[in-house]
């Protein structure tokens, strides 16, 4: 039997490109399994369903190695589970060297394993780089004064007066918060921003 596996990381991403590639190699529509979730682990319902169906000598197509996942160790573990445990062949369409139907001898298996390890490492490395670039971008944006998250609600009328009296020790924080109709923790949190704005 011929199967295909498709994964997109979020519900908003489009899986059509992967499905078109699988149709081009004649994977039957009913044998295409699709998951819309992150590749960080293998707890994916359609992937699990597919693995249960696979029998020795079946053929599994995937568009690229990172469709299996992005964690180096886990990709290698799944590859071995499928090729050695389930004894199925895998073809990675974006990387013709990763076709277990070819070179079943020791040298072919050795070369395939080396390519797989390199590609798995590259996929994981790219994921790490993306996270690092995101963190750097967020830090740079924060340094420029860009605010993330929901905009703060406007301070209630009378906040300034309650804040000044609380700061002067005339009333307690709890009393000031009650006057403003907010929890004490929110009052104190907003006080820090209020102080910055007054400087």
How far apart CA 194 and CA 131 sit, in angstroms, is 33
| Burial category of 45 from C-beta neighbours within 10 Å (exposed 0-12, middle 13-18, buried 19 and up) | exposed
Is 26 tagged catalytic?
A: no
Catalytic site residue from 9, 64, 112, 129: 9
Q: Which token pair is 137?
A: 């971008």
Whole-angstrom distance, CA of residue 73 vs CA of residue 184? 47
What's the CA gap between 76 and 137, in Å, rounded? 31
Angle between helices 173-180 and 159-167 (to 10 degrees): 180
Residues with a known catalytic role: 9
């Amino acid at each position: 039997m011929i199967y295909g596996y498709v994964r997109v990381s979020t519900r908003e991403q489009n899986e059509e490109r992967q499905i078109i590639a699988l149709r081009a190699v004649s994977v039957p529509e009913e044998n295409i399994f699709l998951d819309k979730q992150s590749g960080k682990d293998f707890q994916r319902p359609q992937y699990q369903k597919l693995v249960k169906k696979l029998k020795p000598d079946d053929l599994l197509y995937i568009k690229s190695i990172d469709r299996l996942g992005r964690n180096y160790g886990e990709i290698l573990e799944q590859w071995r589970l499928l090729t050695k445990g389930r004894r199925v062949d895998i073809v990675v369409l974006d990387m013709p060297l990763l076709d277990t139907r070819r070179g079943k001898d020791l040298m072919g298996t050795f070369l395939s394993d080396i390519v797989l390890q390199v590609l798995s490492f590259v996929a994981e490395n790219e994921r790490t780089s993306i996270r690092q670039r995101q963190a750097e971008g967020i830090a740079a944006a924060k340094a420029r004064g860009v605010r993330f998250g929901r905009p703060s609600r406007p301070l209630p009328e009378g906040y300034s007066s309650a804040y000044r009296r609380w700061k002067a020790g005339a009333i307690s924080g709890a009393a000031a918060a009650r006057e403003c109709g907010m929890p004490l923790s929110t009052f104190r949190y907003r006080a820090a921003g209020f102080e910055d704005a007054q400087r």
